[in-house]
């Protein structure tokens, strides 16, 4: 969802709204003044996905290693109980 910056004409506070571009906030949440919000101009926030996608083999190896560690912990707990 895009974020939009609004300013209240009554209390002069800034508010961030998250909604689709077709919607518009009109009521200030801080002072409850109806129809007092105006949309401010702001830069778009563009996020790029940097994280690389893991291959199936890497995911499988990580799962196996996590399972091994969990088994070691469970074995130690059984030994303590036993």
3-state secondary structure of 30: coil
- Rounded (10°) CA dihedral 49, 55, 59, 60: 170
Question: C-alpha 15: how far from its chain's center?
Answer: 18
Q: Whole-model pTM? A: 0.50
In tens, the pLDDT along 57-73 reads 888 999 999 999 999 98
In tens, the pLDDT along 15-30 reads 888 888 888 888 888 8
Please give the helix or strand (H or E) that residue 8 lies within, else none. Answer: strand 3-8
């Amino acid at each position: 969802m895009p974020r939009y910056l609004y300013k209240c004409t009554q209390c002069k506070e800034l508010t961030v709204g998250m909604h689709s571009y077709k919607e518009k906030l009109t009521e200030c949440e801080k002072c409850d003044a109806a129809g007092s919000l105006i949309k401010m101009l702001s830069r778009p926030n563009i996020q790029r996905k940097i994280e690389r996608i893991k291959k199936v083999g890497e995911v499988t190896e990580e799962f196996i290693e996590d399972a091994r560690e969990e088994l070691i912990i469970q074995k130690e707990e059984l030994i303590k109980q036993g």
